[in-house]
Amino acid sequence: MGQKFYAHPTDTFTSPNGAIGHRSGSPFDCLGPYAKVRNCPIHGTAVRLTCYATGYADTYFSVPACTRYKGKHIRGYFTHDEEGTVFQAMDSHKHLFEGLT
């Protein structure tokens, strides 16, 4: 797992839930504030991690992403809920967050 997109240190967007998204800063940026998201809540848990985009949006509602938790690489995607930007782990990785609500 590595950071794939440049994350501008000052070109940021703060979501209502406290997640801080970094834009890449290029004039034709179609990634938005998802190059790197600090303090990003993991859906269904109280855990907040730094997550990175791994590709461009494959649908209007999600951007492929990844993070690392307890030494494990976790795949998922960024999406929005009623509180703001969240990271949704893939089903194959959800067991790593069980009991952390």
68: left (phi over 0), alpha (psi -120 to 50) or beta: beta
Q: Is residue 5 part of a domain?
A: no
Domain count, the chain: 1
Find the domain containing 85 and state its range.
12-97
Classify residue 93: in a domain, yes or no: yes
Side by side, which strands form the sheet with 63-69? Answer: 12-14, 20-22, 36-41, 48-53, 63-69, 72-81, 84-89
Tell me the torsion sign for CA atoms 42, 9, 59, 66: negative
The answer as to whether 27 is a domain residue is yes
**Would you place residue 101 in the very low, low, confident or very high pLDDT band (cuts 50, 70, 90)?**
low
pLDDT in tens, 62-86: 899 999 998 999 999 999 888 899 9
pTM over 0.75: yes
Q: With respect to residue 60, please indicate whether it lies within any of the assigned structural domains.
A: yes
Is 26 within a domain? yes
In this predicted structure, the answer to whether residue 1 has a pLDDT above a threshold of 70 is no
